[in-house]
Structure 1
Amino acid sequence: MNHFDFYNPTRILFGENRTASIDEHIPGDARVMVLYGGESARRTGTLDEVRQALEGRPAVEFGGIEANPQFETLMRAVETARAERVDFLLAVGGGSVIDGTKFVAAAIPFEGDPWSILTEHGANVHSAMPFGTVLTLPATGSEMNHGAVVTRAALHAKLAFMSPHVFPQFSVLDPTKTYTLPQRQLSNGVADAFVHIVEQYLTRPAGAMVQDRFAEGLLQTLVELAPQVKEGENDYTVRANFMWTTTWALNGMIGAGVPQDWATHMIGHELTALYGIDHARTLAVVLPSLLREQRAAKAEKLLQFAERVWHINEGDADARIDEAIVKTEAFFEGLGLSTHLGAYDLGEEAIDAVVEQLEAHGMTSLGEQQDITPAVSRRILQRSLKA
């Protein structure tokens, strides 16, 4: 196991109707800005719950944060926050709203060009406005971590940043908030969390028994819950476990002290930036092909994955690895997520564009061993063309 520092200061307020308690966790003299996405926050009543919880406080609202938060929109939020002299932010929504709020929190006190927060991946962030979150869409784990991804459409750029200054102060996780979500978003959430775990687990052995077993337990939980989540059953126990699993998939614990990959995400980000494909759906396209391309380097962990997650114990090593990848593909397809680029009417021309963007963004040595060059990324995408 590698050396690591584990730090996560986010308070979790878990359970039904916990939004009512948020006022207790915001400084008494704070002027709050509530950030949210589209009309769903209004339609489902979550925004009204937040307003009621903040009743009597000075507060402003900023809506319209996109599913892939756009830099230009977030800069308007920064301008509003500065003009209104707010000193606490509250994100109401899923990972996109929370990611956007993290950027806004970092950009408000930032003295340079805010775009550099993203081009330097957060290394130049030295402070941020405090904020909390009310999670409505389980998927990204952003409610309990210090990372965010922001898109700048004009540049076809989707870039990530991380900073210890953008951990949420608190996050409300109310499983009943998932009851009104459409099937597409639920399926995306399961797939997103699954790949988050795999990026930290399917690398190379590090002697990290606790992290491995934790990751395997989370993966097994998602596999078990996926059919019920996809079918939209409003079962509190199912949704509570789904929500909690997605949070633990990316709160830093299972990635502590182990090698991490993230090539699937980096390639997927370019597909989203160029073609507008849902983030989770890009991951379903890329991951199986990446596992096939990198099977030799990942062989030990792939065999462990086959045995402990998919319960594959028969056949030689190659056969077990093959079956594990096929089962992973079937898992995504069962959620309604295609594992091939052709499903999005994309061919070789898209591969050229994605590789060009990877090179433009410095994504030229990806993976846990930094051996996924643009040429390897091209081969991964070419594999994904095959139906």
Structure 2
Amino acid sequence: MENFIFHNPVKILFGKNQIVQISQEVPKDKRVMIVYGGGSIIKTGVLQRVKDALENDVVFEFGGVEVNPHYETLMRAVDIVKSENIDFLLAVGGGSVIDGTKFIAAASKYQGDPWDIIKSYGSVVQEALPIGCVLTLAATGSEMNSVAVVTRTETKDKLFFDSKHIMPKFSVLEPEITFTLPKNQTANGVVDAFIHILEQYITYPANAKIQDRFAESLLNTLTEDGPKAIVNPDDYEARSNIMWCATMALNGMLSTGVPVDWATHMIGQEITGLYGLDHAQTLAIVMPALWTVCKADKSAKLAQYAASVWNIPAEDESVMADRAIECTIKFFETMGLKTHLSDYGLGEEIIPVVVEKLKEHGHINIGEKQKITAEVATEILKLAL
């Protein structure tokens, strides 16, 4: 196991009727902006519940944050924050809303060009407004980490930034809120969380038994309860396990002391930025192809994954790796996600465009061994056709 430092200060309020606890977490007499997405929280009554909990604060609203939040939209929110002297942000939504709120928090305090925050991957961020979250979609884990992803539609750039200053102060996780999600959003969330775990697990052995077994327990839970939530959306226990899995998948615990990959995300986010596919869709396309191309470096962990998650009997390591890839593809498709670019009407013509974006963003020599060059990325995308 490698050396590591782990610190996560986010307070989690999990379970039924936790929104009322916001009144204890947001300081009284604050000027609070609630940030949300398309308005489903209005129909479900979540927005009103949040506002009721903020009865001792001055409340503003900013809706319309997109899936893959747009820089241009977020900058309108920054203008309001500055003009209205907002001093606390409350994200009510899924990962995109939370990511967008994190950017608003940082950009509202930054004196230079806000795009510098993205270009520097967060290194220029020295302060940010405090943030709280009410999670409505279990997927990204953004409610308990320091990372945000923003898309600039003008240039079709989808990039992340990371800063300790944008860690939420608290996050409310009420599984019942997710009962009303459309099936495709539930499926995307499960697959997104599943792949977050795999990016930190399917690398090479580091004798990190705790991290490995923790990852395997999360993966097993998602394979068990993901399909249950699709069949029975009101299954509270399944929704609870999925929500906590998604949070634990990306709060830093799995990546402590181990090598991590993230190449699937680097390639997938370029496809989303350029062609608008859902984040989880691109990950489900890229990961099996990447594993196949990079199997020699990943075969030991793929075999371990085959045995521990898919109950594949011990045999030749290479054969077990192949079986693991097959089982993963089947799981994605069981959840309703396709695993080829052609399933979404995309062909070979996109490959040089995606690879050029990877080069533009410096995402070459990626992966746990920095072996995925532009040429290897091309090979992966060809296999993903």
TM over 0.5: yes
Deviations 1:115-168 (A, max 9, x none): 011111001111111010000000000000000100001111000000111110
> CA shift at 1:318, angstroms?
1.8
Secondary structure at the counterpart of residue 112 of structure 2: coil
Partner of 2:51: 51
Structure 1 residue ranges, 4+ long, deviating more than 6 angstroms after superposition: none
Partner of 1:143: 143
> CA shift at 1:3, angstroms?
1.1
CA distance in 2, matches of 1:371, 1:153: 30
Secondary structure at the counterpart of residue 80 of structure 2: helix
Partner of 1:319: 319
CA distance in 1, matches of 2:302, 2:213: 14
CA distance in 2, matches of 1:55, 1:355: 50
> CA shift at 1:60, angstroms?
0.7
Partner of 1:242: 242
**RMSD across aligned C-alpha pairs, in angstroms?**
0.8
Secondary structure at the counterpart of residue 13 of structure 1: strand
> CA shift at 1:232, angstroms?
3.7
Deviations 1:190-218 (A, max 9, x none): 00000000000001111111001000100
User: Residues 340-355 of structure 1 correspond to what in structure 2 (within 5 A)?
Assistant: 340-355=340-355
Structure 2 counterpart of 1:209, which letter?
K
Equivalent pairs counted in the alignment come to 385
Partner of 1:62: 62
Q: TM-score with structure 1 length normalisation?
A: 0.98
Partner of 2:294: 294
- Pick which of 274-283 and 20-29 moved more: 20-29
Equivalent pair of 1:183/1:232 in contact (CA under 8 Å): no
> CA shift at 1:56, angstroms?
3.5
CA distance in 2, matches of 1:310, 1:32: 47
Partner of 1:369: 369
Secondary structure at the counterpart of residue 68 of structure 1: coil
Q: What runs of 5+ residues in structure 2 fail to find an aligned partner?
A: none
Q: Give the % identical residues.
A: 55
Partner of 2:228: 228
Partner of 1:153: 153
CA distance in 2, matches of 1:292, 1:367: 14
- Pick which of 97-106 and 311-320 moved more: 311-320
Equivalent pair of 2:300/2:317 in contact (CA under 8 Å): no
Deviations 1:251-270 (A, max 9, x none): 00011111110000011101
Partner of 1:83: 83
Q: Does 1:272 align with 2:272?
A: yes
User: Residues 190-269 of structure 1 correspond to what in structure 2 (within 5 A)?
Assistant: 190-269=190-269
Partner of 2:104: 104
Q: TM-score with structure 2 length normalisation?
A: 0.99
Secondary structure at the counterpart of residue 148 of structure 2: strand
Q: What runs of 5+ residues in structure 1 fail to find an aligned partner?
A: none
> CA shift at 1:315, angstroms?
3.4
Partner of 2:72: 72
> CA shift at 1:95, angstroms?
0.1
CA distance in 2, matches of 1:185, 1:382: 27
Secondary structure at the counterpart of residue 52 of structure 2: helix
> CA shift at 1:58, angstroms?
0.7
> CA shift at 1:314, angstroms?
4.2
Equivalent pair of 2:267/2:286 in contact (CA under 8 Å): yes
Structure 2 counterpart of 1:192, which letter?
D
Equivalent pair of 2:120/2:161 in contact (CA under 8 Å): yes
Structure 1 counterpart of 2:171, which letter?
S
CA distance in 1, matches of 2:252, 2:234: 29
Secondary structure at the counterpart of residue 296 of structure 1: helix
Secondary structure at the counterpart of residue 13 of structure 2: strand
Structure 2 counterpart of 1:194, which letter?
F
Equivalent pair of 1:71/1:150 in contact (CA under 8 Å): yes
